[in-house]
Structure 1
Amino acid sequence: MLMKRTGCYRVAAVMVLGMLACHTNTRPPVSDWPSHFGFGKTATSRQIDSLNISIAPDGKGLPSGSGNALSGKAIYLAKCAACHGETGAEPTANRLVAPMGDTTRVKTIGNYWPYATTVYDYIRRAMPFNAPGSLTNEEVYSLTAFLLYRNEVIDSTLSLNAVNLPKIVMPAKKYYVDDDRRGGNEVR
């Protein structure tokens, strides 16, 4: 037992000394560091482009494809309902839907998100939770259409695509203010 405790104290002492070394600038200067560390490889332009899937609020970056709320409902039930409930309106921490006039102040897609393209972008890169990035463009358009329909933003018959998705005006957009500050890390 004493030996185990001594080992723990040694590990703790090494950690404290390591932290002190970092804070007292006793590490070698950057000029003494090797040019590479012998692992990994330089990414190709094609690899970088395959991961650069950002969608701008104006729709720049939206892929081809289309989808509608009816198809989206089937996909939602199969791939989303386990976490978000069968309708998306259940009072859970993962609530997605709040009908117009809802007074619960729960932040959902319909009453909080400023751009419809952000819904597409988020679903595409982060959902489903257990397999992010696994949905096809058509599945993402369909899920976006279903969620916008359920939040009473679009009609159930609208087929979403790269042309009409950026034109959708979200109810919460009027509450957002452009950041016009200058002199810092500006996003323009």
Structure 2
Amino acid sequence: WSRFLTFPRRFAGSSEGGPYEVHVTQPSLRMIPLFVPLAEAQHMKPQDYINRGRALADQDKHEEAILCYEAAISRMTSLADSPVVSESSQALSTPPPTPQDEVNVDMVSATLGKAISLGKLGRNPAATEAMEAALELDPRNTTTLSYLGLLRIREKKFNEGIECYREALSIDPNCTIAAEGLATALT
């Protein structure tokens, strides 16, 4: 799908008044949060969206944070699917293959951030789905395992929650989030 955004003409540098519409078709820009000016959004990197999402989540603006995380995910997905221009030849080529075990840290961060914000809004099923997606990207991420444990406990799935905490602690025995969550779940 595409999104239509309406901005005043002066946004485009025109001195004429009145609104104009911008038809957004680039896949990575479809999820642009409405509070991000389109001109700025076209140059934002996925990490910029993630940072903005974190800042918004810190201010308890989780709806807006989710939009930023989704924009980052969309941007990374479209960048991964698009051809790359080689700097030396300026010819189109496909992106180099990445090893299966290589983790896209930004994708994990965006997916995890989205899941945490969804959880803060009480949307536990959607948060769990996003958390599981983050875990598929990086099965050894102790933060993801810990937050998934918390969500499982909230859903009254105590054994699954405890297992998530224990798995996180088996990966990193010093993971305080998992240790505290496990201690709380066992009391």
TM-score by length of 2: 0.25
Q: Which has the larger radius of gyration?
A: 1
Higher relative contact order (CA 8 A, sep 6+): 1
Task: Compare the two structures and name the one with the higher helix fraction.
Answer: 2
